[in-house]
Amino acid sequence: MRTCRSFCLLMLLSLLLLPGCWNSRELSDMAIVIGIGIDKIPDTDQYRVSLQIVNPGSVVTSKSGSGGQNLMPNVVYSSVDHTVFSAMRKSSQKVPRRLFFAHSQLLVIGEALAKDGIDDLFDFYERSHELRLNTSVVIAKGTDAESLLRVLIPLQTTTTTAITGRIKVTSESWAQSVDTTISDIVKSLVGEGAPVISGIRVTGNPSKGQKKENLEQSTPLSNVETKGIAVFTDGKLAGWLEGKSARGAVWALDKMKSTIVNIDCEDKKDAMAIEITFSTTKVKAHLINGKPSFTIQVTEEGNLSETKCPINPKTHEVIAKLQQQLAEETKKEIELAVKAAQLTRSDIFGFATVIKRTYPKDWKKMKENWPALYSESEVKVSVKAYVRRTGLRFKSYIKPKEE
Amino acid sequence: MFKHPDRFANKHVRNREDDSKPGRQSNGKMPLFSRLTENLAYIKNELGDSPDIIVRKFEIGTSQTAAGAVYMDGITDKNMVNQYILQSLMLDADSRHLDQDQSVLSYINDNALSVGEVFILKDWDSVILAVLSGDTVIFIEDTDEAISGNTKGGEQRTISEPSTQVVIRGPKDGFTESIGTNVSLIRRRIKSPNVRLEPFKIGTETKTAVAIMYLQGKVENSLVQELRNRLQHIRIESLTGSEHLEELIQDQKMTPFPTLTNTERPDAVTNHILDGRIVIFVDGTPFNLIAPITFFKNFQSVEDYYMRPEAAAAIQFLRYASLLISLFGPSIYIAAITFHQEMIPTPLLLSLAAQRESVPFPAFIEALMMEFTFEILREAGIRMPRAIGQAVSIVGALVLGQAAVEAGIISSAMVIVVAITGISSFANPTYSMALSIRLIRFLMMVAAALLGFYGIAILSIILIAHMCGLTSLGVPYMTHIAPFVPEDQRKTLYGLPLTKKAEIPQTFAIPSENETNGETDSSPPASSASHTEGRPS
C-alpha cells in the first residue's frame, strides 16, 4: 500500500516534467518591441506594420557591457500584410529573435491611415494577451508612422520612450495634447463619442534623424514634437485642433491638470501668467423645443505666477479682476474648441452620452440625425475661476510708470 | 569551576533500587558479593581493568574492618574523594562506634561519610552506573551492600557567552554541556516552588541524563504526560545530543520543518517556561529543546523581550519579510525573467535584458550555479579553521562574485538576488528553521523554472497544507493562524512581548482532542482547572 502510494506520487510528480519548461522564454532570446507603427499602403487594403525593437545593450551603460553607447538604441523592422497580426508575424523573417510585445508602449498611426479610418484597427489589441490596452496612441502628423519611429532622439533611449514621455509631460503641464490609450479609443468608438488623439510630427530633416549623428548634436538635426489634437468623425481623421483650441478641448474634456494662461494687464497684452492648478468640468444638457443645448461648467483654480505690470494683488478687487479675466480667457478657448469640433461634426466631448443619460427617450429620436443636431446645437460655457495664491510675494517690484 | 552534582543519575538509581527491592534476584539483577576482594576484583574485571578506574583499599578508622573505594579518575572531584571520603573514613572515623550493635555500613552512612549525597547500592548495575557517573563507591568487608558518595566533578567548560544566539542587550550567560549547570541557571531565574524537574535516562549504552522542566499550573498536564510517554518509550543505544532526541520525540518525521526548537540561552528558556512550555535538558549539549512550539515562535528572538515593543514588532515584521525573501527570492526572479516578462517594468526589463545578453546559461541554471556556490561558501566558512576564513571570503566575494559577472558568465542581477537571499536567511533567529528554508528554496526554484509563478503557487499551497497538518507535542504548528486565535496573534505574530509577557497562549489550554474550542473559554473543564488558577489576572 505504502509503496503503491509513493509510486503514484512519483508518477504524478513526473507529470510536472512533461510540459518541460512550458512557455518559458529566456530574455536573451527575445526581441522586446517597444513601439508599433501602423501605416496604410496607398490604394490597397494592406497595412505596413513597423516594429521598433529596443537594443538593451545600448540602453544600459555598464562598464562591463560591450561598448554601450556605440550601439544604436533601437531598430525598426517593417512588414506589409493584410492584417496587423500577420504583418507582425511576417517581421520574424527579418528579426533574429522572438518578438515580445508585452512591453510595447506606443502605437503610432500614420496620418494617411488615420484619414482612411481607424475603426477596425484595435481588435487585435483587444484580443492579444501580450499587447496592452493602456498603450498610448498618437497620430504621425504629416508623415507616416514608420519614419516617425525611425528618428533617433537624444536624451531618451528610444523614440518610443521619447514620444510617450513628451505626451505624458505635455498633456499634464501644457495641456495642448491628450494622452489617449487604446482602451479610451475603443470606448469612444463603441459609445456615442469620437476619439481624440494627439499628433506627433517630425521637425527638421527626417532622413538625417535616422542616423547616429542626430544623437551627437546639441540641437538635433531632427526631432519629434507634439502638435495638435486629431479629431475624428466616423472613425476618420476629420481635422486638427491646435494651440488654444486644443487647450480648450482638453478643458472641455475635463482632462485639464495644469497649464499656463496668459491674460492681459491694463494696456499690455498677455502680460500676466496664471498657472492653473486645479480644474473640473461638468457638461449639462437641455432640450429646448426638441433642440439640444449644452452648458459646460468649468471651475478652476490658479496661481499668479508672473506679471509684467505693477499690480498689487493684496486687495480683493485686484484678485477679483484677475479671476474674471482668467474666466473669460478660459471661456474663449473652450468656445474655440467647441466651434472647431462642431464644424467637423465630431462629437469629441461626448455630448451624445450626456443627452442619452439626461433624455433617454428623446435620444432615440435624435440618434438618427445626431451629427447635424450636434453641429447646430447651442453650447454655453460658464467658468468660475479662482486665483488662490500669488507666489512668494504680493506686490511686484515693477514700479508703476507714472512715478 | 562549577561542579554541580548530578542529581538525576542518583535519583534514578535510587528509584530503580526501590522498584527492584521485592524481587531483585528474579529481576536478573546481580547482587554484590560479601567478600571485599571478590567485589573489587569483579568491578575491575567488569570495567575492563581500565587504568582510569582507581581502586583504593584501606581500613576504616582504627578498626580492622577492611574497605575499598572505587572511583573513576577524571570525572570525579579529587579533592572531594580525598577529603570527604578517604580522610573521613580512614582518619576521622572513630572505632568506638563500631563496637556497638550498628553495622559498619549504617555507621558509615549515618556518621562517618561527610558527603551530601549518599546512597546504598545492592546490585552491580547500579554500582557500575554510579562509578561511571563519577560517584565514589565504597565496599566493606563482609557486607553485600555498597555505599556511593557523590563526588562528581572534573574538568568542565565554564559558563560563557552563547556563540550561536547573540543578543545586543541581555544576559551574557549561556548553557554548558553539563545538565546540572544548565538546570541551575534556570533555577536561579525562576524561584518558584512550582518549577518541576523530572529526570530520565536515555540510551542503553550512553545512559544520557535527560530532564524536563516546566512550571506546574502554567502548562497543561496532558502535554507533560505526552512528553513523558514519548521519552519513556525511547529505545536506543546512544543519545549524543538534543538534535538526536528531537528526531526521536517529534510528532511528524516526514517534514523539513523543526517542530521543536532549541536554544542555548537560559533567558530564552526562562521565557519559554514562563509562557507555559516544557524544556528538555540533555546532558552533554548546551542546546536544550523547547516544546511545544509554533511556526511563528521560530521567528522570535529573546532579544524581542529586551526591546521596546514597537521596535520588537517592527523587527518581527522584518524577520517575516526576510523569511519570504530567503524562501522565494531566486524563484521569483527566475519566474519573472523566464515566464512573466510582462510583469517587470520596462526600464528594469531592458536593464536585465542587457545584463543577460552575454550570459550563456538559462536563468534557472544560472541561479542554481550561484546558489550552489553560495551554499558551498557558507558550508566552507562554518567548518574551516578561523585563520583561513578571510581567504575564503576573498575568494568568494572577488573571484566568484565580481569575476563571474565581468566574465559574462553570471549576470549582476543574479548576484544581487543570491546575495540578498543569503543575507535574508541569516536574519532568521532559529538556525534549524533557516536550514529547512534553505532546502525548500531549491524546490521553489525548480518549481519556478518548470511552471513560473504557477509553479511557485502550487508548491506554496502544498507547503502551507503540509504546515497546517504539523503538530508540536499535539499543538498545531500553525496555531494562532490555523486554528485561528486572534487574541494570541498580538503576541505571536506582531511580537508585542512585554504587554502580554506572562500570559499563556490560549491555544495551549486546549490541546487535547476531546475538548472543543468554545468550552475552554466559557467554562473551563476540570482538567484545566489548575491551569486557569495559575493564570495572571
The domain segmentation of chain A, as residue ranges, is 27-241, 244-403
The answer to whether A62 contacts B355, with C-beta atoms less than 8 Å apart, is yes
In chain B, what residues touch A17 (CB-CB under 8 Å)?
450
Contacts of B363 in chain A (CB under 8 A): 26-27
pLDDT in tens, B353-402: 888 888 888 889 999 988 998 888 888 888 888 778 778 778 777 777 78
**Chain B: nearest CA to A89, how far in angstroms?**
19
Query: Cβ B353–A32 below 8 Å, yes or no?
Result: yes
Domain positions in chain B are: 7-149, 157-293+480-489+499-537, 314-469
Q: Report residue A63's pLDDT band, with 50, 70 and 90 as the boundaries.
A: very low
Write b or e for each residue in B63-72: b if 16 or more Cβ atoms lie within 10 A of its Cβ, otherwise e: bebbbbbbbb
For residue B409, what is the nearest residue in chain A, using CA coordinates?
A: A64
CA dihedral A228, A234, A236, A238 (to 10 degrees): -50
What the block records as the C-alpha cell of B33 is: 558479593
Q: How far apart are CA A132 and CA A126, in angstroms?
A: 8
Three-state DSSP class for B104? helix
| DSSP of B449-465 | HHHTHHHHHHHHHHHHH
Q: What is the 3-state secondary structure (H, E, C) of A118-156?
A: CHHHCHHHHHCCCCCCCCEEEEECCCCHHHHHHCCCCCC
pLDDT given for residue B480 in this prediction: 79
* Numbers of helices and strands, H then E, in chain A: 14, 14
Task: Say if residues B440 and B463 touch (Cβ distance below 8 Å).
Answer: yes
Q: Cell match 553570471: residue?
A: B410
Q: Which helix (H) or strand (E) holds A209?
A: helix A206-209
Chain A hits for B350, Cβ within 8 Å: 32, 54, 56, 59-60, 157
Any idea which residue has 449639462 for its cell? Answer: A284
Per-residue pLDDT of A333-392, as tens digits, reads: 999 999 999 999 989 998 998 999 999 998 988 888 888 899 999 999 999 999 999 889
Note whether B164 and B182 are within 8 A (CB).
no
Helix (H) or strand (E) segment spanning residue A78: strand A74-81
The stretch A203-231 carries a mean pLDDT of 86
Q: What is the pTM of this model?
A: 0.80
How confident is the prediction for chain A on average, in pLDDT? 88
The Cα B361–Cα B365 span in angstroms is 6
**Mean pLDDT (whole number) for A117-145:** 91
Contact between A25 and B338 using a beta-carbon 8 Å cutoff? yes
SS3 B211: strand
Q: What is the pLDDT of residue A295?
A: 95
Percent of chain A having pLDDT more than 70? 94
Give the ipTM.
Answer: 0.83
Which uninterrupted H or E stretch holds B330?
Answer: helix B309-338
Instruction: Determine the Cα–Cα distance for residues B27 and B23; give it in Å rounded to an integer.
Output: 6
Q: Is A65 on the interface with B (CB under 8 A)?
A: yes
**pLDDT of res. A403:** 52
Q: Which CATH architecture fits A244-403?
A: 2-Layer Sandwich (3.30)
On whether the CB atoms of residues B153 and B80 are closer than 8 A, the answer is yes
pLDDT given for residue B17 in this prediction: 41
Distance CA A264, CA A266 (A): 6
Q: Point out the residue among B357, B364, B451 whose CB comes nearest to the CB of A22.
A: B451
CB-CB under 8 Å, A23 with B339: yes
Using 70 as the pLDDT threshold, list the residues of chain B that sit under it.
Answer: 1-28, 94-102, 488, 490-537
User: What count of CB pairs under 8 Å joins A to B?
Assistant: 81
C-alpha cell at A11: 508518477
**Three-state secondary structure call for residue B511:** coil
Secondary structure element (H or E) that encloses residue B379, with its range: helix B363-383
Residue A48, C-alpha cell as written in the block: 505596413
- Return the minimum-mean-pLDDT range out of A50-54, A205-209, B362-366: A205-209
- Over pLDDT 90: what percentage of chain A? 45
Give the pLDDT score at A241. 93
Q: Could you tell me which residue, A330 or B6, shows the higher pLDDT?
A: A330
Residues A156 and A167: their CA atoms lie apart, in Å, by 13
Q: What is the pLDDT of residue A60?
A: 61
B255 touches chain A (CB under 8 A): no
Residues B341, A25: C-beta atoms closer than 8 Å = yes
C-alpha to C-alpha distance for B504 and B524, rounded to whole angstroms: 15
Q: A204 is written with which cell numbers?
A: 527638421
